[in-house]
Structure 1
Amino acid sequence: MPAADTQQRAELRLAFLRHLPRRIDVIAQRARRFLRDGWDINGLSVLHEDVQRLSGVAGRYGEVAASERLTVLEGVLAESLARQVLPDAEADAQLQQLIDDLAPAPLAPHEQGVEAPRVPHSTSDRSEVAPPRYWRRWAGDAPPPAAQTRDAVDHAAADVTAFEPDADTTPDPGRPRDPAPEPAARPEPAPEPVRILRSVPTTPLPPPSPAAPRALTPVPPPMPPAGIGTRRRVYHLSDGNRVSVELDQRLETLGYELELLDNGDELKELLGAVAPDAVLVDAGFIEEIESIGAVLQHTRERSGARIALVAISAEDSMQSRLAARRAGANALLLRPQGASEVLGKLDELLNAARDETYRVLIVEDDRSQALFAESILRNAGMEARVVTDAFEVLDAMAGFKPDMVLMDLYMPQCDGTELTALIREREEFLHTPIVFLSGESDQDKHFEALSVGGDDFLSKPIRPKHLIASVSNRVQRARAVRARAALRDPVDPDTGLYHRSYLLDRVNESIDQGNGGDRSGGVLFIEIDNVPDLRERLGLSNVETLLRDLSRYVVRHIGEGMLASRYGDACFVVFDGAGEGASLETQARYLRDRVNGHSFIVSGQPIRLRAAVGVTAFEHAFADAGAALNAAERACRQARLTDVGVRRFEPPRRAEQEQNDALTATLRRAIDGDALELLYQPIVALQGGEDAQYQTLVRMRDEAGRIHAAAQIVPLARAAGLLPALDRWVLGHALQVIDERRSELRPVKLFVSQSAASLAEAGHGDWLANQIGARKLAGDSLIIELVARDVADRLQETLAFCTALVAHGVRFCLSQYRAVPDIDGVLELLPVDFLKLDGRYFEPNAPAGTRDEIRLIVERSHRRGLSVIAPRVEDAQSAAQLWMSGVDYIQGNLVQLAGRELEFDFQSAVL
């Protein structure tokens, strides 16, 4: 073996060994989660695949002990897969022992010498309190949580909106209430899942170790985009730009296994250890793309996998294009405007890598020669079929639909030249590549065969490597030609949807033509908001069938002359080149009502979808299609909070803008001049308690003496970049109140709202830690309240802030909580002690079954050791119902109106 190869193998082995313990720990955590929560057949298959792959690599690099243990684990999993059954109790016990041998479980609290859990404030047996300092597990000094069961009920997907301030429970006198947002519809009872088997263990098993860091992905994660049946592993060499951060959040939400890297050498090292499904390289590392591509090519050859490489460049230059090509990049994206563009390309490449099995028809009368060629192509991952009788070729082509025909020139009864002419007479085979495999050296024979429709000659004998390369290149070019032809005929004949690129071109043309003055036309952005939940219930293939049925339904119900395209996993765009604002909104309402009112049948079960529609008219002079679609998407997100589910984009009006500018200037002066005000509203324990705790509410008084609540001033602060300053002002004054009350021997606990943007501000965490230390405050007297949707957009920064502050005793409350997968994923990761329910659960027109949903949330929260707070409680009947549901605390006008004094009598409070 050459010395260079030996050195390279040693380097690859060293890199793999460094990453092996982490990979084993990830597999162990996933297995323990299945053992605790119950198996499903898809998860079992994915786990088996990952164990099998890691076992093989470990053996190849000489890690015999690890390889043997993994092989035994693989065998137990394979046995269940072979019988198409889930592991039973006996198999679970065997798997538990194998996992413990592979990656020992963390010690129990008593084995670590940790003090016993404190007695909870409530004696109800429905609650379970985590061990002391459990939420400090990120600091590395906490025991694991006690064994716990988890609820198996999943809910509809979350809507992700911008940060909203905590709902003010005390509206100003005379100020009308804002329109009530549409309450969260309770999911319909799930039909029997299709191809998803699940078992729920009757006794809880120890949870996975909390010490190992894990990807910021909701648990259980939603499945990846439509058509992807397993979790895809993506390495992202990120320079931290805006698009990259958004992209990472969306990849994690979609269920990709994401590995974030900020160093090219680290990426190369990781590629040498474990092969991913795709690699993303940001523009900041474009100069390293060639060296990365060289390492990636070795990984492709070693693993035999088609690893997609996507490079991003900030400029369109010959150098960057050439570097990407030399690196073997599958795609070079130039200045992508948003994460959707990168996600679309990544989804396209991964789907292509999965579905791209080349189909080759081998026409050869010599069976031994045919089987030799077939075995070579099959070993290369292609699907090959042999036909030894020339008279059966046309039927075989009709059934097999090959990408290419590999044909012998000389055959009895009908030679290759005659057979090629017959094939070319069929319209559907007119462009199918036909390559002759022959030892014929006569150039006239070659010309004759090519003249009737043959494409090329390969001379016998041919080396396997050359055969594979020739076939691959031919098929790739043929498929590229077909793809371009499809763009020239841009309509999907099955659904009637237009290709996205074609629709975007039409939108851009309409906008360009309107720049002369006539700005007619617009787009509708339609989003189905319960698709992730349906994917969990029905499986990927059934949901994709459902979405194709929906596509046909949308095409049938749009107006004449309109074009529709599928824009994302569960999003559609409708383009109307002649409509204006009012007519577009009418069409949007019609489509939304039709989709929401229709029952789609999947596997015999009726399925109802929930759609929201954003409307954008081109009259607002957008620069291009991207700007128009962004406006429509924002309007769609706002529409999800309304009763009608439709929202038209409206730019800020001039008078409103002037008023907002004036209020912003007043806010800036109030922050600088220490002129804001704080109000306080009690948060009372339904089971009784003596702790004095209040919600802190900020107010601003303008020059005319009018009071402006947080719901008015926080959006202005965000738009003007004043939100960190506003949050720090509120936090500083809250700490001052806590300090003063402590000196008066009247301790108080304050809930203080903070935005995720402020938590991400450089130095904010250090400032707060210094304030607590300088005042020598008990950290648990401050509860920082975070809005769930706000946190979901800045999860990494929020997690870093919370990790640092739990060391100072600060506690956290997640507010505006709704039982949806995205927010549940946030809840799993953050060190939260309190959960404040979303206010829409308490609206007067809340749907039937809301009380049951609240009870379910409370039960799940108590199993996690969390206390639940209900805001906006206005009457005693609601309080009684919440008490029966197990809610721990209530807040609202029933308890007391917000005021400047902190004099509520918590000891004598009777509700």
Structure 2
Amino acid sequence: MLADGLVSFGFDCRVFQRPAALLVALAESQPLAVLLDDAGLESGLAMQELVQRLSRIGNWPMVLLSGSQTIVSQIQLLRAGVSDFIAKPCDASKLADRLDALLENNEPVPYRVLVVDDSVASGHWAQKMLEQSGMQAKHIQDPLEIFLWLQRYKPDLVLMDIYMPSYTGDEIARIVRQHPQYDGLPIVFLSTETRLGHQLSARRMGGEDFLVKNNDVEHLISTVTIVADRYRRLRRALTRDSLTGLLSHTHFTNRLQSELFLATQSNRPLALAMIDIDHFKHVNDNHGHLTGDAVIKSLARLLRHAAAEPDLVGRYGGEEFCVILPDTSLIRAAQKVDEWRERFTAISHIAPDARFTSSFSAGVAVFEPGMTVRDLIEQADQGLYRAKEAGRNQVGLAKMPGQR
């Protein structure tokens, strides 16, 4: 039952009753995760011994469905290699959420740091130290280019020299803070300044912390890691839709604005898809709102993993979604969305009283010079309207120039 439910959320699942069959399968292919439940396990093999054997074969998350494990037994299983415990009873929806979170933590995206320093040597030193610790870093010398690189690089943190010719770091920080989309972006000052009073004064101008240049590499890495991690967690909580984990309407629109800017700067194509689940009211009326939520989450998960990156997908409202497709022509975007449509229609959803499938209609538009965010959304919405008019469960294109 759990495997069937996970399949409806886009997971590919295989079920084993015998540990030997599981071990053979793992020797042939690498899973994203292994879910263990000692209830129904056909073997005298102890769970702890099985976990130890699995740990020797490969390095993947191991999740144990746990009824009533004692603290001592949980610690022993953690030492053996269990990654997470999930209390029973557990439904597929909650399990999918936990697996997504576990997999995300297992493969973390490196922090991105923008280093703003007029000194080539100092900037390169900071960039090198950050990259050696596993982060991504970009050094710029001209502080007036900061907004260009905030748009292009989308950093998790700005590491800024406090004393630069013509402009000081705290002045640049105050200007950055004038823009609502960067109001919470962490700025850590980097300088040779050692006087505490001056450091505190700079922090009052918009900085999260103050580090002394070329002083302590471990302190630099630790501070950047802690501040960037806190920012990511806070940003996720504030910008994400609670049901799907996708960007909310407002923050998706902000991301689209940023992508339009980049498309204009680089003269590259950009497409937008607007997606709406067909006859969603019937799903809620016939199977209940909890089942409706599960259908929404299954499509959200499919789109999140199919898109070039998760933050290019947003929940636009209700059962409606938007996806940004950078470097994609109108026709290629329509082909991609149609592939997603076929994958979604193949998913079997499970309701308390029945199994059923669902579908979506979509509209696709491409960015043209001079378009605003609103223009592009309206074009994609026009394509969606054409798809619905033609009978739903298909992809409609926005009208091209000169097309009737």
Query: TM-score band (shorter)?
Result: 0.5 to 0.7
How is 1:224-239 mapped onto 2 (pairs within 5 angstroms)? Answer: 231-234=30-33, 236=35, 238-239=36-37
The answer (yes or no) to whether the contact 1:281–1:289 under 8 Å persists in 2 is no
Task: Find the partner of 1:416 among 165, 169, 173.
Answer: 169
Deviation at 1:445, TM superposition (A): 0.7
Deviation at 1:385, TM superposition (A): 0.5
TM-score, structure 1 as length reference: 0.27
Task: Find the partner of 1:277 among 46, 51, 60.
Answer: 60
Aligned length: 283
Matched letter for residue 38 of structure 2: G
Q: Does 1:264 align with 2:20?
A: no
Q: Deviations over 1:709-731 (max 9, x none)?
A: xxxxxxxxxxxxxxxxxxxxxxx
Matched letter for residue 375 of structure 1: K
Q: Does 1:458 align with 2:232?
A: no
Q: Does 1:241 align with 2:39?
A: yes
Deviation at 1:543, TM superposition (A): 11
Deviation at 1:607, TM superposition (A): 7.7
Q: CA separation of 1:369/1:214 partners in 2, compared to 1, >3 Å: closer, same or farther?
A: same
**2-structure distance, mates of 1:460, 1:478:** 23
Q: CA separation of 1:312/1:402 partners in 2, compared to 1, >3 Å: closer, same or farther?
A: same
How is 1:129-208 mapped onto 2 (pairs within 5 angstroms)? Answer: none
The answer (yes or no) to whether the contact 1:436–1:454 under 8 Å persists in 2 is yes
3-state secondary structure, aligned to 1:601: helix
The answer (yes or no) to whether the contact 2:33–2:62 under 8 Å persists in 1 is yes
Task: Find the partner of 1:602 among 311, 319, 335.
Answer: 335
Q: CA separation of 1:421/1:522 partners in 2, compared to 1, >3 Å: closer, same or farther?
A: closer
Deviation at 1:360, TM superposition (A): 0.5
Q: Does 1:479 align with 2:235?
A: no
Matched letter for residue 277 of structure 1: W
The equivalent residue for 1:310 is 84
The answer (yes or no) to whether the contact 2:110–2:134 under 8 Å persists in 1 is yes
The answer (yes or no) to whether the contact 2:176–2:182 under 8 Å persists in 1 is yes
- The structure with the largest alpha-carbon Rg is 1
Task: Find the partner of 1:564 among 319, 323, 332.
Answer: 319
The answer (yes or no) to whether the contact 2:48–2:80 under 8 Å persists in 1 is no
**2-structure distance, mates of 1:274, 1:437:** 45
**2-structure distance, mates of 1:290, 1:338:** 25
Q: Deviations over 1:141-161 (max 9, x none)?
A: xxxxxxxxxxxxxxxxxx969
The equivalent residue for 1:434 is 187
Q: Does 1:633 align with 2:328?
A: no
Q: State the percentage of identical aligned residues.
A: 24
Q: Deviations over 1:466-503 (max 9, x none)?
A: 322221211111111112213578763358999xxxxx
Deviation at 1:463, TM superposition (A): 3.5
3-state secondary structure, aligned to 1:395: helix
Matched letter for residue 602 of structure 1: Q
The equivalent residue for 1:407 is 160
The answer (yes or no) to whether the contact 1:527–1:612 under 8 Å persists in 2 is no
3-state secondary structure, aligned to 1:453: coil
Matched letter for residue 217 of structure 2: P
3-state secondary structure, aligned to 1:458: strand
The equivalent residue for 1:492 is 248
The answer (yes or no) to whether the contact 1:239–1:262 under 8 Å persists in 2 is no
Q: Deviations over 1:686-721 (max 9, x none)?
A: xxxxxxxxxxxxxxxxxxxxxxxxxxxxxxxxxxxx
Q: CA separation of 1:409/1:340 partners in 2, compared to 1, >3 Å: closer, same or farther?
A: same
3-state secondary structure, aligned to 1:602: helix
How is 1:335-346 mapped onto 2 (pairs within 5 angstroms)? Answer: 335=88, 337-346=90-99
Deviation at 1:392, TM superposition (A): 1.9
Q: Deviations over 1:722-755 (max 9, x none)?
A: xxxxxxxxxxxxxxxxxxxxxxxxxxxxxxxxxx
Q: CA separation of 1:543/1:484 partners in 2, compared to 1, >3 Å: closer, same or farther?
A: closer
**1-structure distance, mates of 2:334, 2:74:** 48
The answer (yes or no) to whether the contact 1:235–1:278 under 8 Å persists in 2 is yes
3-state secondary structure, aligned to 1:276: coil
Deviation at 1:438, TM superposition (A): 2.7
**2-structure distance, mates of 1:361, 1:368:** 15
The equivalent residue for 1:838 is none
**2-structure distance, mates of 1:406, 1:452:** 14
Q: Does 1:287 align with 2:92?
A: no
Q: Deviations over 1:259-295 (max 9, x none)?
A: xx84436645764x56623232443365344466568
**2-structure distance, mates of 1:392, 1:345:** 40
**2-structure distance, mates of 1:412, 1:456:** 22
Following TM superposition, where does structure 1 have runs of at least 4 consecutive aligned residues deviating by more than 6 angstroms? 488-491, 495-498, 542-545, 604-608
**1-structure distance, mates of 2:129, 2:79:** 26
**1-structure distance, mates of 2:240, 2:307:** 27
Q: CA separation of 1:544/1:417 partners in 2, compared to 1, >3 Å: closer, same or farther?
A: closer
The answer (yes or no) to whether the contact 1:277–1:350 under 8 Å persists in 2 is no
The answer (yes or no) to whether the contact 1:613–1:636 under 8 Å persists in 2 is no
The equivalent residue for 1:755 is none
The answer (yes or no) to whether the contact 2:113–2:157 under 8 Å persists in 1 is yes
Q: CA separation of 1:344/1:522 partners in 2, compared to 1, >3 Å: closer, same or farther?
A: closer
The answer (yes or no) to whether the contact 2:127–2:137 under 8 Å persists in 1 is yes
Structure 1's unaligned 5+ residue stretches are: 1-158, 162-211, 222-230, 246-260, 297-307, 314-334, 499-506, 508-520, 556-562, 567-599, 615-629, 647-911
**1-structure distance, mates of 2:158, 2:308:** 35
Q: Does 1:395 align with 2:145?
A: no
Q: CA separation of 1:291/1:435 partners in 2, compared to 1, >3 Å: closer, same or farther?
A: farther
Q: CA separation of 1:453/1:232 partners in 2, compared to 1, >3 Å: closer, same or farther?
A: farther
**2-structure distance, mates of 1:488, 1:475:** 21
How is 1:856-871 mapped onto 2 (pairs within 5 angstroms)? Answer: none
Matched letter for residue 430 of structure 1: D
How is 1:804-823 mapped onto 2 (pairs within 5 angstroms)? Answer: none
Q: Deviations over 1:815-852 (max 9, x none)?
A: xxxxxxxxxxxxxxxxxxxxxxxxxxxxxxxxxxxxxx
Q: CA separation of 1:472/1:239 partners in 2, compared to 1, >3 Å: closer, same or farther?
A: same
Deviation at 1:446, TM superposition (A): 1.4
Matched letter for residue 564 of structure 1: E
The answer (yes or no) to whether the contact 2:32–2:61 under 8 Å persists in 1 is yes
The answer (yes or no) to whether the contact 2:113–2:135 under 8 Å persists in 1 is yes
The answer (yes or no) to whether the contact 1:360–1:404 under 8 Å persists in 2 is yes
Q: CA separation of 1:383/1:486 partners in 2, compared to 1, >3 Å: closer, same or farther?
A: same
**2-structure distance, mates of 1:266, 1:217:** 14
